[in-house]
Amino acid sequence: MTAADSGWAEGMAEWQPLGELIPGLGLVRVSGVANPYAGPVSRQVAVGGGGEVSVRTVGLLRGTRPWVMLLAVIGAIGAGLMVLGALAMLLLGGAMGAAGAGAGIPGMPAGMMGGIAVIYLVMAGLYVYPIMKLFQFCGAVESLSRTRAQSDLERALNAQRVFWKFIGIMMLAGIVIYVIAIAALVGTGVMAGAAKARSGPVLPGSTYTPP
């Protein structure tokens, strides 16, 4: 037995390496005399050079998998609906422009509908990357439940890391955009009020010529 083997004793929450239970064990051979009071001992099997992941860790990750999969599916459906909405905007803009031109009635410019369609497509594109990471996490957890390999655990955690990093960046970008928009609105209002104050009051029936 070596420090890489796992051991358990009464009162312990889960199995632990013998190197932690018996400091200084290293690779020294433990006495072959069985201890009748010792708990069951299982030998770790190296998988992919990283050892096995504990059953409890696998169970916790498997418990999150259905909810992550649900979010990924909902996000994929939302992205698909945005793409369909963009196509609808393009078709509707073209139809309204043609109908208005044929009747001599100016309608909504096709460029405006095209701009809305572009916004929809950009939003759908921003959904794709985090959704891919959610599906990658689910796949890694499913593989981990079969192999208990350290490499699968690392793949799952890396997918979560990239997902939350992307979400954090998007939230910061959204906050910056909101702050800029609010500042622009306030600045426009202040400039409009200052311009009106400089123009002075205009009496009914009179014409005011600015200096």
Q: Is the pLDDT of residue 207 over 70?
A: no
Q: According to the model, what pLDDT value does residue 137 have? A: 95
Q: What is the mean pLDDT of residues 116-122?
A: 87
Q: Is the pLDDT of residue 106 over 70?
A: no
Cα 119 to Cα 21, 43, 86, 122, 131: the distances in Å are 59, 57, 8, 5, 19
Q: Which residue carries 């996000």 as its tokens?
A: 75
Q: What is the mean pLDDT of residues 8-18?
A: 70
Q: According to the model, what pLDDT value does residue 117 have? A: 85
Q: Is the pLDDT of residue 99 over 80?
A: no
Q: According to the model, what pLDDT value does residue 48 have? A: 42
- φ/ψ of residue 134, rounded to 5: -65, -45
Q: According to the model, what pLDDT value does residue 114 have? A: 78
Task: Determine the Cα–Cα distance for residues 145 and 87; give it in Å rounded to an integer.
Answer: 41
CB 84 within 8 A of CB 122: no
Number of Cβ within 10 Å of residue 67's Cβ equals: 9
Task: Determine the Cα–Cα distance for residues 137 and 152; give it in Å rounded to an integer.
Answer: 9
Task: Determine the Cα–Cα distance for residues 14 and 198; give it in Å rounded to an integer.
Answer: 78
Task: Determine the Cα–Cα distance for residues 128 and 27; give it in Å rounded to an integer.
Answer: 49
CB 39 within 8 A of CB 7: yes
Single out the residue of 86, 82, 64 nearest to residue 74, CA to CA: 82
Q: Is the pLDDT of residue 145 over 60?
A: yes
- pTM for the whole structure: 0.59
Task: Determine the Cα–Cα distance for residues 89 and 82; give it in Å rounded to an integer.
Answer: 10
HSE (side-chain half, CA atoms, 13 Å) at 25: 17
Q: According to the model, what pLDDT value does residue 16 have? A: 73
Instruction: Give 65-130 as a DSSP string.
Output: HHHHHHHHHHHHHHHHHHHHHHHHHHHHHHHHHHHHHHHT-----HHHHHHHHHHHHHHHHHHHHH
106 dihedral zone (left: phi>0; alpha: psi -120 to 50; beta): beta
Task: Determine the Cα–Cα distance for residues 25 and 210; give it in Å rounded to an integer.
Answer: 93
Please write the tens of the pLDDT for every residue from 33-81: 455 555 554 444 433 445 788 889 999 999 999 999 999 999 999 999 9
Average pLDDT over the chain, rounded to whole? Answer: 78
Q: According to the model, what pLDDT value does residue 35 have? A: 54
Number of Cβ within 10 Å of residue 182's Cβ equals: 10
